[in-house]
Amino acid sequence: MNKKSTREVITKRGNMQGTRNKFIKGLSLLLIVALLGSNAAPSVVTAKTTEGTTIIAKEESVQDDANSQGDRNIDEDTVKEKFGEKIDFLKMSKKATIVTENKVMLVDMTASKVLGGSYLSSRSYFSEFTDLMFILTTLREASLTDIVTISKRAASLQDENIYGFEEGDKISLYDLLLCFYFTGSEDARLAIVDHMTDKDTTFIAKMNSVARSIGVINTNYSNLNGDYKKNQNTMLYDIYSIMYELLNEDFVKEVLSENKLFITYQNSAGKTVRKACVNQNMIDAKSVTVPENMKLITVFSRNCKVLGNGQIALAEGENGHYYLSILMEVDERRDIGKESGRILEVVNGTEYFDEEILITPTPIPTVTPTPTKKPEPTVAPKPTVTPTPTPIAYKAKIPTESNNARYQFLMNTNYKAYTIYDAPAGYRSATEASKNMTVITVPVWKMNSAGKKYSSTMKLSIHKKLADGVSSIFKEVYALPMKFPIKTLLGYSYRKVGGVGLSNSTLLSIHSFGAAIDINPGDYDNDYFLGKGNDLRDKSNPYCIPDEVIDIFASYGWFWGGDFEISADTMHFQYLGLEFLSYQGKSPFRELKYKNGTLMSGNDVKNLQQRLNRLGYKVTVDGKYAKSTETAIKKFQKNNKLKVTGVVDYSTWEKLINLTHYMGYVF
């Protein structure tokens, strides 16, 4: 199969029952047009949703799609230019250059050079990144234009049927692989296996065959999902080799840094269903403390309770080079996101060393002996009085009377919108800040695909001085009768502020002080919405943060990010005040317009064009505000009852961004 322009050759989603011959003719025409260098606009397909409303699903060109990937987008041609030749294992040095108990490999992908590593020739007796080979095997052994009929086995999964597929549903292999790539969902995995082979062992044989074809050294697969087995092993170079091949696949380059995409499929009743697909890799990326002079592209994380955790991080340096960090067999007591960041710091000449793992022993409670009671004289009974609850001690210890008091409490300094250049002592780097943090375990409710809730726990990194209070907050949230489900928590993360229009910001996020928590980030209804008070969530979504949870945080002196002036950050809570993130008298956006042939250009224009395309307005994504973009904006303004001027003012930005809030925000 010609793997170029995979999105161009996906079957029209509104006509999944169309004949194969018509599709092949259409594919041939598209390939001919591509060869001739046509700039034809993408076609538009109209389909009916399960609710009976009409949706518009675009079949975008590769250029348009590659440029609509959000805040961590990698331009396809740039990737091709910046990845060098594949490193030959026999020619690379196997000498350990990083002293660590972990298995580590750091590669300059652009210069084709190993920058450091440990245990480079060692086998790991498990394949924690089996999913990567599963994806590569699917890409090499099948056609993404195939229409897959969901098998009985895939549909019958209970807790693992993330997307709610039913037997007989029909979906393109492209969309099904997207489901698996974003979440590793077992239902998607089994549906792919049942489509491509007659049994699991046949697919496993294909994985081993593809592995040999790309020149891996010591990898053998004995199951599909990477569960620990003695005869299932791999090594660092082989993981690098698989990543190298994947990063040169058009499918991966198209979806690599997308935060969310939508899949469309036809259910067994013949109705078209459209669902959101959230990239778990990009959620995991938020936990990586990437060096300040690098841009994190994506992350792949896997857990193995038997031999430790693993993580792959791809980052772009300020020199334009791409760096790949591979970590394996990391002690589960270590923060693996922090470890990935520390490995990437080696690029900057920082020496890596294993930090001591601090173990806090669980205190054994002292049993207070029951005093011997002396007989008391009989007295007349008094009326029962409802006792006044004793205030919880830590509430009195945590000041809430002013933001200055809050800052003094955490970092011995008054309130200021601190930047990466003037951070207070103890928070001038991730290394400094991390010493003020601790990891707590909180009770949570989780929910399976059938909607059944079950009790569990999650770990959360937070400032030591806030730990007791946060523990109590989550105990109260857990005790709510609604059993609010939590699937993701993010606490301490040393980084700059991201968000709408803030790509050039140097502000330190409150997460850097361990004083902020994101609940269910990445969920469609816990997101950024531009404009103060723009809480546009669908509260029927069980993962949408309810008012009761907001009230509990408020009772402990925490603020809700939905009250930010610059945007409604509805996933976010923070102990420090909301003042630091405001317009400060200025709009965060440049006003865009076309006048007298003068073209405005830049990343903000490209971001605008990406959003227009996602909403079905045909425009070339070239970063230039020309007449065609102005025409598209006028149509958008008319359709959304805005003043039709062709000028992208704040009200136009606000409407456009809120309609596409699931896309990237940083310009």
Q: What is the pLDDT of residues 12-50, one digit of tens each?
A: 333 433 443 443 344 444 333 333 333 333 333 323 333
Which pLDDT belongs to residue 523?
Answer: 65
Please give the CATH topology (third level) of the domain spanning 600-659: Muramoyl-pentapeptide Carboxypeptidase; domain 1 (1.10.101)
Q: Residues 139, 251: contact at Cβ < 8 Å?
A: yes
Q: Say yes or no to pLDDT of 268 above 50.
A: yes
Q: Say yes or no to pLDDT of 7 above 50.
A: no
Arithmetic mean of pLDDT, 175-196:
92
**Residue for token digits 């809700």?**
560
Q: Which amino acid is at 551?
A: D
d(Cα 89, Cα 241) in Å, to the nearest integer? 9
Q: For 543-592, what is each residue's pLDDT tens digit?
A: 888 889 999 998 898 998 887 767 778 889 999 887 765 554 556 678 88
In the chain, what are the domain boundaries? Answer: 103-123+284-348, 393-574, 600-659
238 vs 360, more confident? 238
Q: Say yes or no to pLDDT of 345 above 90.
A: yes
User: Which element (helix H / strand E) includes 55?
Assistant: strand 54-59
Q: For 497-548, what is each residue's pLDDT tens digit?
A: 765 555 566 778 899 999 999 998 766 566 667 776 677 777 788 888 888 9
Which pLDDT belongs to residue 549?
Answer: 93
Which pLDDT belongs to residue 665?
Answer: 53
Q: For 285-308, what is each residue's pLDDT tens digit?
A: 888 888 999 999 999 887 765 567
d(Cα 226, Cα 130) in Å, to the nearest integer? 5
Q: How far apart are the first and last CA of the chain?
A: 36
Least confident of 103-112, 190-199, 323-332: 323-332
Q: Where are the alpha helices (DSSP H) in 458-561?
A: 467-479, 547-555
Cα-based torsion angle of the residue sequence 85, 87, 93, 98 in order, rounded to the nearest 10 degrees: 90
Q: For 97-110, what is each residue's pLDDT tens digit?
A: 887 878 899 999 99
Which pLDDT belongs to residue 588?
Answer: 65
Q: For 46-91, what is each residue's pLDDT tens digit?
A: 233 333 322 233 333 333 333 333 333 434 444 445 788 999 887 8
User: Which element (helix H / strand E) includes 630?
Assistant: helix 627-639
d(Cα 458, Cα 441) in Å, to the nearest integer? 6
Mean pLDDT of the chain: 78
Instruction: Give the distance from CA 404 to its chain's centroid.
Output: 33
- Report the predicted TM-score, pTM, of the whole model to 2 decimal places: 0.48
Residue 93 binned pLDDT confidence (cut-offs 50, 70, 90): confident
Q: For 381-438, what is each residue's pLDDT tens digit?
A: 555 554 443 334 444 467 887 888 899 999 898 888 888 888 899 999 989 999 999 9
